[in-house]
Structure 1
């Protein structure tokens, strides 16, 4: 791996305009330009770079992608493809809502290296697509706006990349914005991201206009004032600024060096050869322990960034292979990123096209994927969310490289590359593609739990007929979506990541699948129980002239402790109720308990004792005693109070220390009981509490607002507890 040529002392510079079209494109890509009908190609893994762009909404990720595409001649100007659509925001929802909500890949070629730029959504609601981008990439580019700073989600993702050792760099965008402050943005990056963050270039801004960049290692000024990139010596007025930042950069590089003598030499004032510094810098970036900072503006910085990506970031060969097993779960070792090796690929994103059908975005980790080949589909362990496990063979269709709405045909996808696959009708996001003769399974990446329940119903009978199929397609595309058909509340519930996620799903149902639905109030599954002991009689006597019904049973009911379930006790003596009809009474009681006796919720924690009754030799029957048991339970409900029970969950809320007080106060206001707190890592605290489910149906939204996007939580059902009388009366009144 080599570091950016622009950082090397005496490096030759490409002084051609970065926006020149056909000739620049042909030169940069070696003939494999990304025009609408032609796709960038790669035959070797070491000629590929997979880079995921991470940052909050509005940081400029999509704009940066388009700037790099234009700089390599892949598109003619930022923001446009041939049909006038934006490069990344091609989904119909993105066009209408003017925001990125999907993982999008933009392939380009620079100096013979194919770069797959993975543009991710900047909203926490779409963190599933963001995690998919992290899985498919070998390095991460954190995009920070010089005008807006860093949000909590970006900080959390930086920490996540740190845990897995992913190489990273930082790009400060919008340095030409009227509110931009590069120094403040840089200081914020160093404060939030920690040690090892240092700039490689400084912007030169005059009267709000970016004239160029100063390379701190080469101490050269790269002039963009005329629109073309040229090199010259920086003026004396920049000497102090260069020395200040250059000293910090060199010290950071030396601290990461394996040569311990460098620090002694540096402290003694000996000059360190730039070549040595660059070599140590390369190793530190590859290890994920040093994070260079670059900057971009309109027409500025694309060249430097492309050089960093192609020569500073690792290729797929240098990225650790995810864990691979056979279908029995036995680890499979020895598979590496080799186009000639066994096929191992993973579906990282699934979308639907109204004309082509299902399209799967696939990262090839080993082997070579070719059009029309038959592959084995394995995965993926999300059955609890409505995603069925797969173990089947499928024949794939054409392979393409997507760019906006264009699907540009490509001949193959080699190990390390990312391609789009058509006609995988069963494969879903997270599934593994492997050889039919040797089925394999990749350990799936961690997927966040959807914690916002939204109840919906079809708007019309025609919509109801199409709803099931449309929801099935949405579930196949989105592993963060969980579909629940609640038998207790008789509601169809979508478990989503947040309000924006919900809006996008309902928009797609309406516009893409032609299914109109409406939100309805979510019903929390309550329970009923008796508030005391009593005796009741169930009398089912009907004489109609023919075969009638005759069954009388006397029951005693009493509540059990929470979690006691149901007990049926037989105390019949003397055969007053024939033995064959005693199970009938129990069956009728159980049926009435399922339907409830007050508000229509199932009854729990009850002991029912059958102690007396009467029967008729002709008119008594199984059904007669079932009905008698039901009537007795209803009569008991009229004699003693019945209680409504609400489910109580244990919440584990992980939040930054600054928001612990607000979170604890909010949980208390939700009738919660805070159990305690414990520190987790640096600057984060885990708050545990018991909270009624009625109070946390929208907690996913409220916590995000309270914690500025940094808080997460998990919920686990604990038990049922009596609902306060004032709330119980409201529930009863609405039933």
Structure 2
């Protein structure tokens, strides 16, 4: 296994760069909120000697330092990195948030990692385990991540070890409860007065040895009689699973023929299967007991990471393109190759400023050198040859992350991670490359944020800082989308859920000093005429000198949806002089933009100018504009004006058990279910048309309705008439608000 280093990479004050790419392991810890990921990182850091028993290094930094938004949320909301050294390898542990709102941080961690530890808590009921792990596992499977499953909280288990392993196999292994196999079995101590049996050690299935931690030190012991019987059955299943994944086709014949397969061969084939992602072993871990130097299972876990997880050089880097959009060869994980790196996370420090977490895929990143920053940009045309923003930027100081602590680095080679200060203009997802050879990496995808948060500045002083604060917030978090709605004139942050909105508000106030107020999100409604109508506008005033004289008669008729506003001139005999026809149109369009009934833009009508009167002296452009507006208002007063609301095409993907509840909920939102489709994994895709005013908070409601297993997408379909009773209620509320103002 090699020498095990127990020296933290930055314990002496200045971090040492990692060795060659083959000695680096980038591992993302993935699991539902509360599964124990951060506790596991602390236990691994303690075992590797990166922290002391208090969880601190020499200068007081801790693994679990949280910012204000995390303390308020009571959970991890951002990606953090903790490097440890073990068996001659640098292991970068990437602790990802488990809550669904922070999927952007999760995907950033997966982008930077080469393997995953999927953490599952036994403190949950079996059904809850299935619900909370399925979506997260799909995130890992989508990027083809190899790794292992780690079971935690076995001392407070609601789901026994064997059942939990089967549940994980069924959910994570495509329905086969035997798809995942343990490498170790838990050893429990005597049950206490509370009925709980503490975890005291592990039984190694391949080595047939007990690793006992009950004394605070890891000791190897032979299994006793009771343990041996259970060990043999589990060991046989594990061997069969390893042989099934072996590239040596003769092993199965030898095994079935009664031949003994030596442990070295099994371990070698196991490591190969884990590294290529075809085998996901199950391990068990627990934090160190008071006074102990090692957590239970942490040595075994670190050994598996160093020996079985792939190095960066064994993983295929994302595709890259050149300035002309042409595909370039994939980056080579070689410190001497041309630089290709990516900003996987952006954060702000009150003292240092912007800090970018960078994964180097090729070449070597050094401080004070000039690199080319390329970004896809929000709203960049799909398939477009060039990104929205790019520039040559001078690299600031390089540091090695340790939670929130930063330690100076001289360089960062291929396969490793580093923080870069003051990387001006760089956003999360941007590519860094040599200044003479600009490149752009294939972006990672993010779900569309579907929960709106409308904000306004609290005061005039905040008004000046709001735009800059929002821009910085969106640059840091690609899961946020900023919209300045031209119809409602609201500034809207589109978020992933309620927790995401809380964190966004906290960061605006805490990091950027912008006091903002949240306000109800307004859906852009429209108005239209339900039937043909006519109106006469008369603007006649006399005031000393030149007066104002303009009369026009119009007819308004409804058009098909999407037609907009069409103006037609059918004046005969010059009753409205030609130069004032455009003035009437301008007045009509201005009034239509302001609305004629409830203050929403008027659309899908044809306004025809039929007749009018003018005065040789007192008629003017302004007078006919006013007359046109008056005529449209009079036509609206004599007609039924409908409110049009936007309707969205909604696609909801849910487990089959929740289809009825989801369809009933959509119907209660005035939705029309237009069809269902069977999807993979025992799920159904429900398609419906739902008014957007009814689904502002659907992200939260769907999560509650389906226990976190449902997902949905939506797209604008059209505007259609709102039910009269709802329209009347909305008009009344707007009139009341206007009178109070």
Tell me the alpha carbon deviations over residues 611-667 of structure 1, each in whole angstroms, 9 at most, x when there is no partner.
Answer: 111111111112211111100000011111111111111011122222111111111
- Contact 2:380/2:388 (8 A) holds in 1: no
Matches within 5 A, 1:699-710: 699-710=698-709
Aligned to 1:245: 234
- Contact 1:67/1:78 (8 A) holds in 2: no
Tell me the alpha carbon deviations over residues 92-142 of structure 1, each in whole angstroms, 9 at most, x when there is no partner.
Answer: 222343310000011111121000000000100000000011111000110
Aligned to 2:482: 483
Query: Distance in 2 between the 1:322 and 1:99 partners?
Result: 31
- Contact 1:33/1:73 (8 A) holds in 2: no
Aligned to 1:678: 677
Aligned to 2:187: 204
Deviation for aligned residue 1:465: 2.4
Counterpart pick for 2:119 among 125, 143, 146: 143
Matches within 5 A, 1:185-584: 185-194=164-173, 196-207=179-190, 208-298=197-287, 299-333=295-329, 335-383=331-379, 389-584=388-583
Instruction: Count the aligned residue pairs.
Output: 709
Deviation for aligned residue 1:36: 6.8
Tell me the alpha carbon deviations over residues 205-238 of structure 1, each in whole angstroms, 9 at most, x when there is no partner.
Answer: 0122322111101111112121111212111111
TM-score where L is the length of structure 1: 0.94
Query: Distance in 2 between the 1:693 and 1:593 partners?
Result: 23
Tell me the alpha carbon deviations over residues 277-323 of structure 1, each in whole angstroms, 9 at most, x when there is no partner.
Answer: 22221221122110111101132111001000111100000011101
Deviation for aligned residue 1:179: 4.9
Query: Distance in 1 between the 2:330 and 2:298 partners?
Result: 38
Aligned to 2:98: 122
Tell me the alpha carbon deviations over residues 172-209 of structure 1, each in whole angstroms, 9 at most, x when there is no partner.
Answer: 11223365732232222122111541100111101223
Moved more, 127-136 or 648-657: 648-657
- Contact 2:318/2:330 (8 A) holds in 1: no
Aligned to 2:43: 67
Moved more, 42-51 or 87-96: 87-96
Tell me the alpha carbon deviations over residues 516-575 of structure 1, each in whole angstroms, 9 at most, x when there is no partner.
Answer: 222211111100111211211011111212112111111011111222222212111111
Query: Distance in 2 between the 1:730 and 1:412 partners?
Result: 64
Moved more, 149-158 or 249-258: 149-158
- Consecutive unaligned residues of structure 1, counting only runs of 5 or more, are 6-11, 13-26
Aligned to 2:193: none
Aligned to 1:105: 81
Deviation for aligned residue 1:151: 5.3
Aligned to 1:164: 143
Aligned to 2:152: 173
TM-score where L is the length of structure 2: 0.93
- Consecutive unaligned residues of structure 2, counting only runs of 5 or more, are 191-196, 288-294, 382-386, 735-741
Name the CA shift for 1:334/1:715 in 2 (closer, same or farther; >3 Å): closer
- Contact 1:88/1:403 (8 A) holds in 2: no
Query: Distance in 2 between the 1:283 and 1:690 partners?
Result: 49
- Contact 2:320/2:330 (8 A) holds in 1: no
- Contact 1:455/1:519 (8 A) holds in 2: yes
Any idea what SS the aligned residue of 1:28 has? coil
Name the CA shift for 1:509/1:31 in 2 (closer, same or farther; >3 Å): closer
Moved more, 27-36 or 487-496: 27-36
RMSD: 1.8
Deviation for aligned residue 1:610: 0.7
Query: Distance in 1 between the 2:483 and 2:313 partners?
Result: 42
Deviation for aligned residue 1:83: 5.9
- Contact 2:8/2:50 (8 A) holds in 1: no
Tell me the alpha carbon deviations over residues 250-291 of structure 1, each in whole angstroms, 9 at most, x when there is no partner.
Answer: 111111122333223322322222222222212211221101
Query: Distance in 2 between the 1:624 and 1:321 partners?
Result: 67
Query: Distance in 2 between the 1:602 and 1:399 partners?
Result: 53
Query: Distance in 1 between the 2:388 and 2:430 partners?
Result: 9
- Contact 1:528/1:645 (8 A) holds in 2: yes
Moved more, 319-328 or 464-473: 464-473
Query: Distance in 2 between the 1:87 and 1:359 partners?
Result: 18
Aligned to 1:612: 611
